[in-house]
Amino acid sequence: AQKITQTQPGMFVQEKEAVTLDCTYDTSDPSYGLFWYKQPSSGEMIFLIYQGSYDQQNATEGRYSLNFQKARKSANLVISASQLGDSAMYFCAMREGWSNQFYFGTGTSLTVIP
């Protein structure tokens, strides 16, 4: 079974609008971390935001926030007030506490339309 599932291969959003990128995960480990990375066309992987399994509040970092629904095992990334520079590939990842292993989704390509 896939540990991380991103069901949206491609998304479009109008500039200045908000967009939600979906991510569901699968683990039986009670301790885990969820991460989102951005990969612009230049290729580097940029860490955006982190959510821990025991965190009570949704994580926020500037225009990025994480809609964490533990019972549903989902950790959706919300980007508010989209900018042209947000056009990139976005990857969701999970790190399990017991194995220390990272698992990545297949990514969502986001295009911001002017």
Partner 1 sequence: EAQVTQNPRYLITVTGKKLTVTCSQNMNHEYMSWYRQDPGLGLRQIYYSMNVEVTDKGDVPEGYKVSRKEKRNFPLILESPSPNQTSLYFCASTVQGGAYNSPLHFGNGTRLTVT
The residues, any chain, with a CB within 8 Å of residue 34's CB and separated by 6 or more, are: 23, 25, 50, 51, 52, 53, 66, 68, 75, 92, 93, 94
Interface positions, 38-97, toward partner 1 (CB under 8 A): 43-45, 47, 50, 52, 91, 93, 95-97
Q: How far is the CB of 35 from partner 1 (least distance, A)?
A: 5
For partner 1, give the closer residue by CB, 86 or 96: 96
* DSSP letter string, 51-88: EETT-SS--EETTEEEEEETTTTEEEEEE-S--GGG-E
Binding mask 13-42 for partner 1 (x = CB under 8 A): ------------------xxx-x-x-----
The answer to whether residues 65 and 76 touch, using CB atoms and an 8 Å cutoff, is: no
**Least distance from C-beta 5 to partner 1, angstroms?**
10
Q: Which residues bind partner 1 (CB under 8 A)?
A: 6, 9, 31-33, 35, 37, 43-45, 47, 50, 52, 91, 93, 95-97, 100-102, 104-107
